[in-house]
Structures are given as structure tokens and as C-alpha cells.
Amino acid sequence: MNDSSSQTPPKPLSAAALKERKTRRKMLVGVGIRLVFFVTMPAAFATGFSGIKYLMTAIGAGESLSMNSFVWTLMGLLAFTFLFGRFFCGYVCAFGTLGDAVYGLSAWIQKKVFHRKKPLVFPDKVYRPLQKVKYVVLAVLVLLCALGSYSLLTGWSPWNVFSRLTAFQWPSAGYIGGIVLLVLIVIGMACQPRFFCQFLCPMGAVFSLMPVLPFSAVTSRSENCLKGCQACRKNCPVGIKPGEDKFLDGECVACEKCMHVCPKGNIHRPTHKIIRHEWVSLVLKAVLFFVMGVFLGLCRFL
């Protein structure tokens, strides 16, 4: 008969194992949050951009402005970004979630079927200039709205096609252009992380120019970095190193992968000093956004 008191106690987990467990827990929480918002608020992006369309169209026509549901949604998204960074882009936007899923599937196929050690990505010299294209897209759309010519793009909106699909409505024949663009965007998503967010998203262009309160900004103690490391940049879906370029910091989609891969632990958010568990911080932001979304009428079930 074995004496239970003589059994060897389990060995404590190493620091690396604890970090891996912590990262996996946060990843699973993040996936759950994205799925919830994908199901409940898939049209949040289109509604927010409709606020920009309304404002620019009204200004261009010399009409008085009113606070309709589109404008309230736009204001809510801007306020949330100011408070918490681009949490909307990282966890709420259905287009961003679609991009993560498509690239994740593409990377898995490349590894298992084509035996590639690393999935395809655009080279640095290509994707950095491409990140500026979204500002051109935003400028063109704003100009068309101001001139009262946005109707020229009727049927060419890929996010309107996407919104219809998520509502289980097949787009009509008038949306052929939008369907083609959506297919091309999905192909791009399979080749580059956050393809639409980085290169084409007009709302992403707006959010990237927004200031973020210091307590939510990602900070980096670059003086402590290992020489030639670049782990944060290599694992960042938008290819940036926190704090290296203030303009590029606006590209951050709040995924916080850089914090998990930094071997020196140089990257953090000030809020993590208050809320020790990162997954708790994610859940609190998600709950706050969900409440705001319900108030704004973004939830399809309420």
C-alpha cells in the first residue's frame, strides 16, 4: 500500500512555462471576444463609416448637421479609441476578425500542405508604402461624399457586401463590383496579416491618426533591448516596433503580441500595473464596448 504522504510533490512550473500558459489563456480569451463581436455586431464598421459619409455629404451640400445613429456610432468609436487605443480594430471589427481567420488558415495550409517553415508575408519595402494607401482611400471617399458623388460607388463597397453576407442576405446583381473587391481582399488577407486593416481600411486611417491616452498606450524600454532582436516587429501583424516611430504607433491594433514575445519584458501598458492579468483587462474593455454597442443599437439581437 502506497503512502500518499511520501509522494513527490509536483514540480513548480518554470518561468517560461508560466509565461506560455499566460499567453495561451489571453489568446483564447481574445479569440472568444472576437467571435462574440463577430456574431453580435458584424456591421459596427459599416455603421461607423456611414457616420463619416453622412457628415461629409451634409457639409458638402451645405446642410445642417444632426446627431443621427450613424454619427453617434462614429463618436462612440472615436471616444473608445481615444480611451483604449485601437481595441475596436483588434477585437471588435468583424473585418479584422475575418482577416485574422483567413491568414491563420492560410498559414496552417502553407505549413501542413506546402511544408513552408514561414508563411508568406509582403517584404518590408513593399508593405510600409502600402500602409499609406488607406489614407488615399479615406481622402478619395471623403472627397466624393463632399462633392455629392458617393453614389458613383454604389454596388462597389466590399464592406456593404460583407455586412449583407453576415446578415445571411446574398448581395443583388448590383453588387458585382463589391463582390469582386471582397474576393480580392480575402485573397490579400491570405497573404498578409491584417491586409485590409493595414492597407485599405478608411476607418483604420482615421483611428491611426487618433491620439491615445497615456495610460492605454503601449510603451517600450528600447534601451534594454537585446542587440538585433526585433522579436516584437517580426511578430507584430502590422510590422512595427513600439515607440520607434510615433507616426507608425498609430498602426497598432492593440493585439499585444509584442508584449508576449519580448525576451526582456520591455513592452507593457501602464494599465497592466493596475490590472495584473491581461485577459481581465481584455474582458473589461470588451464588456464596456458591448454595453456601448447595445446603447448605440449595434447588437443585431437586441
Over residues 138-182, the pLDDT tens digits come to 999 999 999 999 999 999 999 889 988 988 888 888 999 999 999
H helix count then E strand count, the chain: 14, 2
Cell of 49: 463609416
> In the predicted model, is pLDDT for residue 5 greater than 60?
no
Same domain flag for 99 and 241: no
- The structural domain count of the chain equals 2
Same domain flag for 177 and 273: yes
Give the 3-state secondary structure percentages of the chain, helix then strand then coil, rounded to 5: 65, 0, 35
Same domain flag for 264 and 277: no
Same domain flag for 147 and 91: yes
> pTM for the full model?
0.90
For 48-96, the pLDDT digits (tens) are 999 999 999 999 999 999 999 999 999 999 999 999 999 999 999 999 9
Same domain flag for 77 and 156: yes
- Residue 166 burial (C-beta neighbours within 10 Å; 0-12, 13-18, 19+): middle
Cell of 151: 453614389
Structural domain harbouring 258: 218-268
Same domain flag for 51 and 154: yes
Same domain flag for 169 and 59: yes
Same domain flag for 31 and 130: yes
Alpha-carbon distance of 120 to 191, in angstroms, equals 6
- Phi and psi for 219 in degrees, rounded to 5? -120, 155
Same domain flag for 238 and 131: no
Same domain flag for 65 and 100: yes
Note whether residue 2 is domain-resident. Answer: no
